[in-house]
Amino acid sequence: MKNINASITAVGSFLPEKILSNTDLEKIVDTNDEWITSRTGIKERRILDKGIGTSHMAIQAANAIIESKKLDPLEIDLVIVATITPDMHATATAAYVASEIGASNAFGFDISAACSGFLYGMSTASAFIESGRYKKIILIGADKMSSIVDYSDRNTCIIFGDGAGAVLLEPDYEGYGVQDEYLRSNGSNRNLLRIEAGGSQTPTTKESVEEKKHFIYQDGKNVFKHAVSNMSDASEQIMNRNNLTPLDVNYLVAHQANKRIIDATSNRMGIKDKKVLMNIHRYGNTTAATIPLLLFDFESKFKKGDNIIFASFGAGFTWGAMYLKWAYNH
């Protein structure tokens, strides 16, 4: 019996229409376009309207795949949503997404691994595919970061945006798809990048809201340091483990948190700039959505058999890298 690999066979995306530019932020907090661009590489980000949840974006991204592949939603076995901004606590956003896209034969659950959510989701979905019992899985990375950002905090409001990206994973018997993964986490530094209140440790109170403890906080310098070392290390590990040289790697698809982090990772790998895909200038950091949004934006570049490295780092801390062979020509 041939080995089963999990291959990406389609991609989809959704981005809100509203654009929040660096110039717009200059009117809100003490910052400027030159400062933001030089430190992050971000020029603008998308913002979803108030009163609409993450599921709206996830549904649109999944429907884009259903339409492009002419896929019968009843054939979908599983829907996974990677997010840290679910519509609500206790109920999985993925279950609602599955119902709304007509995937009534599927089950759904969420993955919470912040900016590494999509990468962890790829690992999880791949295991389901490799079991031989599941044939079509929709994996979505989606976050409405504007719902947890304090727009009076210039350390965080310049970074994050809203968006969703989705992939369809199917079995592959020809050696394409996911080849290897290197995933890690370390919770000892969780206070460096967190939302303090709203969980079981610090439930919501009038005081916690007034003290702005429901917004995302980060110790920027320390997070940057950990992100550079861990994302670079994971990417180097995945190359070494699979005997890949810089020439063997066709593209680096890295989490879009900060251009300087991506540059440090590509330098460590020895990958030339033309192989390093970026759209951070257009969307900012969309957390779990960054990697699938890159795949959607650059799908036309990929050729069957291309060696692609995914890499990410996020709150938790969570990080890792994945090596896959692209399975189709666009």
What average pLDDT score do residues 101-127 get? Answer: 98
The model's pTM is 0.97
Q: Is 56 a catalytic residue?
A: no
Q: What are phi and psi of 194, to 5 degrees?
A: -160, 165
pLDDT band, residue 330 (cuts 50/70/90): confident
Q: Based on the residue annotation, tell me whether 191 is a catalytic residue of this protein.
A: no
- Give the pLDDT of residue 252: 98
The predicted-structure confidence for 237-291, as pLDDT tens digits, reads as follows: 999 999 999 999 999 999 999 999 999 999 999 999 999 999 999 999 999 999 9
Distance between CA atoms of residues 308 and 68, nearest Å: 23
Q: Provide the pairing of β-strand 307-314 with 251-254.
A: parallel
Range 120-149 average pLDDT: 98
More confident residue, 2 or 199: 199
Among 109, 77, 76, 111, residue whose Cα is nearest residue 95: 109
Q: What is the rounded radius of gyration, in angstroms, for the C-alpha atoms of the chain?
A: 19
Instruction: Band the pLDDT of 1: cuts 50, 70, 90.
Output: low
Q: How far apart are CA 239 and CA 179, in angstroms?
A: 11
Q: Which domains does the chain have, with CATH numbers?
A: 5-176 (3.40.47.10), 179-325 (3.40.47.10)
One-letter amino acid at 104 equals: S
Could you say which of 56, 115, 230, 258 is catalytic?
A: 115
Mean pLDDT of 72-77: 98
Conformation bin of residue 90: beta by default, left when phi > 0, alpha when psi is -120 to 50: left
The residues with which 79 forms a beta bridge, in sequence order, are 108, 138
Active-site residue flag, 240? no
b/e per residue, 162-201, with b = 16+ CB within 10 A? Answer: bbbbbbbbbbbeeebbbbebbbbeeeeeeebbbbbbeeee
Catalytic residue among 22, 56, 255, 258: 255
